[in-house]
Structure formats: C-alpha cells, structure tokens
Structure 1
Amino acid sequence: MATSNIAITRTFHWVMAFVIIAITLVGLYMANTETYALYHWHKSFGLIALLLIIARLFWRKKHVWESASKGTSQAKLVNFVHLFLLALLMLMPLSGMVYSGFAGYGFSLFEWHIIPKNLNSEQQVTPYNELLGSLGKTLHGLLGYLFTGLVALHVGAALKHHFINKDQTLNRMLNKKPSENT
C-alpha cells in the first residue's frame, strides 16, 4: 500500500476511534443519568460517524490493507473481529436512528432535521411506531455494550502486541519508527 494510502487509512482509524469513543462515553452517560440535553449532540455525531464509516468502508474496499496477522493461526479470528467491528460501526447509528425516529423523538444533524419530532396536540412526543421504536432502543443498547466490549478487546490486543509480543503493530498505527528494543 502506498505511503499516502497508509496515512489516509491511519487517519480514518484514529478519527473514527476518537468520534466513536466520545459518542459511546456520552451515550453511556446519557443512558445512566437521563441527561436529555446531550441527546441532540449524540445523534448529530452519530450521523457524522455513520457518514465516516461509509467513507471508510469505500476506502477499505478500494485500498485493502494487509493484516500483521496474515499467515498466522490467528488470521481468521483477527479478520472476523475487524469485520464485526465494522459491522457494529454501521449498526450502531442505524439502530439509533430506528430508535429515535420511530419512537417519535426524531433526529437531526445539528439543526438540519432529517426526521422531525412527532408531537401530539399537547406537545408530547408520540411514537410513529412503538414496536419499531422499542426494538431500535433495545438493539441500540445491546449493540452498544457489545461494541464497547469489542473495542476493549481491540485495544487490549494492540497493547498485547506492543508489550508482550513486542512487535510493531501499535507503532505502525501510531506512525512511529520501530523501537530499538523490539
């Protein structure tokens, strides 16, 4: 892979990591404290994350990266976990959109309303479809915890490579030169 392609791949990885970790932390905080003022931001950045993951998938399809695990006994597992993480990156915002949209809360990209709130005559939120809203809420929550666990596994694997295997996996993703003691 050309150096410029590697830089773009690395940038996608770290921008996505920052955005997703921030959204996840805010989501966990909101779910546990019912801090409704943050939902607008959570939804907007969730839509941005969806656009980024779509761009990242197109990039990855065109510029296939070669895993450091290629040829090892762990190659299939590593590939599966990466693909599963990418699938969850798509499913998280989509399930959030189903939840928020069908539950009547609507969603927007900052002030651009994509699905408006569904308010009744007393200005109370009314679901467009209660069953789909409830299903979206359940999926969004479950997928969020599953995703959090997989991200922890992903970070743990990177740290294992760096501190136990003493290979260049983490240094490569951080764009660092090989260290002297590996």
Structure 2
Amino acid sequence: MPLGNSHTTYGSVTKTFHWLTALLILTNLGLGIWATNIAQAIEAPDVETTDATVARATFLFSLHKTIGVTVFFVALARIAWAIVQPKPGLLNGDDPLEARLAETAHWLLYGSIVLVPLTGWVHHAAATGFAPIWWPFGQTLPFVPKSEYVSEFASTLHYILQWVLIGTIVAHVAGAFKHHLIDGDATLRRMLPGHGGAEPTARQPGHVLPVIAALAIWAAALGGGVWLGWFPERHAGAATAASSSAESDWQVQSGTLAIEVMQMGSAVEGRFSDWSADITYDETPDAEGRHGDVTVTIATPSLTLGSVTEQAMGSTYLAAETHPTARYEADLVDRDGTLMALGTLTIKEQEQPLDFPVQLEIDGDTARASGTAVVDRRSFDIGGSVNDPSSLGFDVTIRFELTATRATE
C-alpha cells in the first residue's frame, strides 16, 4: 500500500491518521463522561467525598486531558499531511446536496479535532486545583492567565464544541454506512487497510459553500449557548467592601478576606464577599501591652472557591446551610514590638485558638492592616473524609487586608 494519496486512493499515512484520531476521540469521549459523572458526585454538597473517589476522578481527568492534548497534536499533523497530499474525489459528486453535506462534515471534523482539545487545554491552563496533564512540559499555556472567568469561558466553549463534534461524527459514520449498505460504493472500503481506491465522479463539490455551512453551524451552536446563558459573566476580582458596626472605634472602608488551599497539588484561592470587622484600637497599649480587640463575623455562604464552591458549602465541608456564620474574636496585643492578634476562630461551632502577627500602618485617622494565618481544616471537621493531603491539603491559609478610618465622636 503506498504511503501517499492519489486522486483515487488514500495512502497508509492518511488511513493511519484517520483511525488513530477516531480511536483517540471515541476513547476520550467515554473518559470525559465517566470523569464528569464522578466529579458531579464529588461536588454535590450532600455527598460524602472519599480519598478513593477523588483519586479516581483525578486519574480519569488526567488521562482525559493527556489524550486530549495528544488528539490536538495528531490533528495538526494530520492537517499538515492533508495539505501536501492530493485528496481523492467523492464517489457521489453527481448528487450536489449529499456531496456538499459530506464536505461540510469534513470541514467540521477537521476544525473540531483542533478546537475541542484546544479549548479544553485553555480551560485547564487557566484553572487552579486541577488534575495534571501527564507530560513534562508544564501545565500552562502562553497568553492564558490564571483566571476563573477565562477557565469557565473556555470550559463552556469546550462543552458546546464537543457536541458539534459528536453530532458530526454521528453524521459521518451514518453517511459511510449509507454508502456501503445502500449505495454499494467503495467510500467506506477505500479507507480500510488493504483496500484500494475507486474512480471518483467527474463532478465534485466546491469548498466555498461547505466552509460557509460549517462556520454557520459553529456560530449557531455558540449562539445557542449564549441564548441559554451558558457563558459566565465577567465579575470584577477587586477587593470586596467590608462593613463594620457603628460601635467600632475604627470603621472598615474596604478590604479583602481570602483563603487558599492546595487541591491536587495546585493552590486554589477563594474569597468571602460578606464579612464585617468590629475593631477597637488605641496606639498606646495598657499595662499588659493590650491595644484593643477585634471581632470578625463571616457569612460562610458568601465564599467563592472556583469550580468547587458548591462542594465547599456542603455538609462535609463548611455546612453553610446549618452553620452560616463563622467568627473570630481576638485581643490585639504587643509582643516584643510585634502586634499580635491572640484569639479564637469558630467554624461549625468548633472553636480553635488562632494567633498571628498583624502588619499595621496608621496615618492620621486612616489605618491599613494585613495579616496571614494558617489553620488545619480537620480541626473544624471540614472535609474529614478526605485524608490524603495530595487530594486536598490539610492547611488552609487565611489572608486579610483592610483599610479603616477612625470613628468620629
């Protein structure tokens, strides 16, 4: 069998690309459905997550992503080979409608085997807390930032385009069997190993209308996604405004309360959008070095934590429905020239001591404060069924920064 194509036959290289691509895509579609079903079960707020379940989902997603990247590069090589080879003509060129539909399907297939894995790759590169691609070249992509919005947008594109690909594959396979079983021509046989070619019809469809039709199908699919509201809205990621009660010596004007946890070897950051801080503070400490105190009240349902936000609200994690409020109460004390917050953090009615240094700058009646603390999620019965830190880290880093003004009499 010759390596290259002729005007009547497909060569062995083209046939190898065709069947390898088909095998990879069909395998990956099954893996993607399997992994997604497990992930949805994990993310369900009332389903207990185990190390074995997380490990299984991680393995399947890593395999899915690795095969997806393989499809992308195989597709590029296949397209490059097709460009330099003659394309055997259709055997049904005398039927203009069927011939143009067949060409449209070919354009959709070639475009989709590039776009579907590429959008999945962008989603992966923009996300945090992911199952890694199994290769030594890193997990990022040039010009793709770490962004929840970019990740969700690319994920939506990936989801929509995969259905275009699936629909096109179904139509392509149906057409091949129609040629073989009804028309009795060699369209299917000439793509099988060991089989020769067949003389194409003199009349062949052009490329302009099939290309326009393929673009229209992609546009319709994406437009449908927009109409259904599948694409994410862009939200500002700036610091959230915090409120403070009127009884405080200092009124919080703005600030950010964030957490960070390691998931599957990658840092995942979340933010609380609803919290308040009641602060009393005097620059001159008392005899025990005490400057004042602070009480921070946090609405746990206001946490956003990327793709696992819903899971974080569940009963085995923050239990936001039954425990909607977390609280931190501390004294502000001078310890050898360092301002320390010495207090107690309460989450899900579990109290644990929490002390950490506070960086404070006061300029007139304006104060800027920041600090970082680390807690063990297990101390608050959060994610207790996940005991493998490579799946979900034990340490949770808490960071805050705020700007406050001195209350006037």
- TM interval, shorter chain, is 0.7 to 0.9
- Percent sequence identity is 28
Aligned counterpart for 1:8 among listed residues 4, 8, 13 = 13
What's the counterpart of residue 88 of structure 1?
112
What's the counterpart of residue 99 of structure 2?
75
Assess if the C-alpha contact under 8 Å between 2:105 and 2:171 holds in 1: no
Q: What is the CA distance between 1:144 and its match in structure 2?
A: 1.3
Q: Which amino acid aligns with 1:18?
A: L
What's the counterpart of residue 141 of structure 1?
159
* Cα distance change on mapping 1:18 and 1:91 into 2, 3 Å: same
Q: What is the CA distance between 1:176 and its match in structure 2?
A: 5.3
Assess if the C-alpha contact under 8 Å between 1:101 and 1:107 holds in 2: no
Instruction: Give the Cα–Cα distance (whole angstroms) in 2 for the partners of residues 58 and 109 of structure 1.
Output: 25
1:96-115: CA deviation from partner (whole Å, max 9, x where unpaired) = 01111112246755141422
TM-score, normalisation: structure 1: 0.82
TM-score, normalisation: structure 2: 0.38
Aligned counterpart for 2:63 among listed residues 31, 41, 56 = 41
Give the number of the structure whose residues are more often helix, by fraction: 1
Q: Which amino acid aligns with 2:99?
A: A
Instruction: Give the Cα–Cα distance (whole angstroms) in 2 for the partners of residues 112 and 176 of structure 1.
Output: 37
Q: Which amino acid aligns with 1:11?
A: T
Q: What is the CA distance between 1:86 and its match in structure 2?
A: 0.6
Q: Which amino acid aligns with 2:159?
A: G
Query: Alignment length, in residue pairs?
Result: 167
What's the counterpart of residue 64 of structure 1?
86
Q: Which amino acid aligns with 1:104?
A: T
Extract unaligned runs of 5+ from structure 2: 5-10, 40-56, 197-409
Q: Which amino acid aligns with 1:72?
A: D
Assess if the C-alpha contact under 8 Å between 1:171 and 1:177 holds in 2: yes
Instruction: Give the Cα–Cα distance (whole angstroms) in 2 for the partners of residues 133 and 23 of structure 1.
Output: 20
Instruction: Give the Cα–Cα distance (whole angstroms) in 1 for the partners of residues 129 and 20 of structure 2.
Output: 28
1:41-85: CA deviation from partner (whole Å, max 9, x where unpaired) = 111111111110000000000003123244531322211210111
1:98-157: CA deviation from partner (whole Å, max 9, x where unpaired) = 1111122467551414226xxxxxxxxxx8111110001111111112211111111111
The secondary structure found in structure 2 opposite 1:142 is helix
Instruction: Give the Cα–Cα distance (whole angstroms) in 2 for the partners of residues 36 and 108 of structure 1.
Output: 8
Instruction: Give the Cα–Cα distance (whole angstroms) in 2 for the partners of residues 45 and 20 of structure 1.
Output: 8
What's the counterpart of residue 150 of structure 1?
168
Q: What is the CA distance between 1:4 and its match in structure 2?
A: 1.9
Q: Which amino acid aligns with 2:123?
A: Y
Give the number of the structure whose residues are more often strand, by fraction: 2
Of 51-60 and 77-86, the range deviating more from structure 2 = 77-86
Assess if the C-alpha contact under 8 Å between 1:106 and 1:114 holds in 2: no
Quick one: higher RCO (CA 8 Å, sep 6+), 1 or 2?
A: 1
Q: Which amino acid aligns with 1:155?
A: V
Assess if the C-alpha contact under 8 Å between 1:20 and 1:49 holds in 2: yes
Q: What is the CA distance between 1:33 and its match in structure 2?
A: 2.7
* Cα distance change on mapping 1:153 and 1:10 into 2, 3 Å: same
What's the counterpart of residue 120 of structure 1?
none
Q: Which amino acid aligns with 2:156?
A: T
Structure 2 residue 128 is matched with structure 1 residue 104: yes
Instruction: Give the Cα–Cα distance (whole angstroms) in 2 for the partners of residues 81 and 177 of structure 1.
Output: 23
Q: What is the CA distance between 1:12 and its match in structure 2?
A: 0.7
Q: Which amino acid aligns with 1:26?
A: L
Extract unaligned runs of 5+ from structure 1: 117-126
Q: What is the CA distance between 1:166 and its match in structure 2?
A: 1.0
1:3-42: CA deviation from partner (whole Å, max 9, x where unpaired) = 3211111111001111111111111222223233211111
What's the counterpart of residue 23 of structure 1?
28
Instruction: Give the Cα–Cα distance (whole angstroms) in 2 for the partners of residues 64 and 82 of structure 1.
Output: 15
* Cα distance change on mapping 1:63 and 1:106 into 2, 3 Å: farther
RMSD of Structure 2 on Structure 1 (CA): 2.2
The secondary structure found in structure 2 opposite 1:110 is coil
Instruction: Give the Cα–Cα distance (whole angstroms) in 1 for the partners of residues 132 and 93 of structure 2.
Output: 41
